[in-house]
Amino acid sequence: MSSSDLAPSAGLPELASVFWRPRVDERILRRREHIWTITTALHTLPFIAAAALLALAKPVTLPVSLILLAHAWAIPELYAARGANVIRPRGPAAAAAAGAERRALGLLGDLVDHSARSLLERTGLVVERGRLGVWLLGEAGALLVRPRGRRVLCYCVSAVDPELPAGDRVAHLLLALRADESGFATVANLAFAGAPWRVRRRVAATARPALAEAVTQARG
């Protein structure tokens, strides 16, 4: 996603490439949250029901019931892992690019306040409050922690040039988000929606303080 030539009145230029999507608003976000909850339930409840029926009908099949319950647990965990991957760093910079990475992070730090800058230095992620909730931006994706902190939506979205330093990619996303939050959520691809604790289990340990801060701000 490019941050150049952003016109607040027209929205992000990238919206033209997803013209069939309705512009995201509160109603659409709530609907997506409900759809994800229903979809997860439809995937897991048959396993739970089958496990219960087997255990009641033939106690000897208890091991099979446990396997079915394990499947019911694994399905939402796999979805959450996919969601957590959107803020996973690409990896340490090559030695030749380390200087560019440091400069990019320094420039990104100029775009945020002191508390966000401190968190950025420790985690490589930026926390940004918006109208739709509190955003957590990485170099190739973003999490949206909804008000009250009960739900998090994980979006896969990235800057146009994958060869940019990580800090520059995050800066591009931050500027696009500030220019048009609704358009940003419309262009991005939803990878997961669910409870923050599911995502927290799957993100890297270094990212957990940033996610905790986003949830805290969303509850405030």
Give the model's pLDDT for residue 24. 96
Residue 95 scores a pLDDT above 60 = no
Segment 148-195, tens digit of pLDDT: 999 999 999 876 666 677 777 888 899 899 999 999 999 999 999 999
pLDDT at 119 over 90: no
Say what the pTM is. 0.85
β-pairing, 141-145 vs 126-129, is unpaired
152 strand-pairing partners: 145, 194
pLDDT of residue 190: 95
97 pLDDT higher than 80: no
What's the sign of the alpha-carbon dihedral 80, 85, 86, 89? Answer: positive
Tokens 């965990």 sit on residue: 77
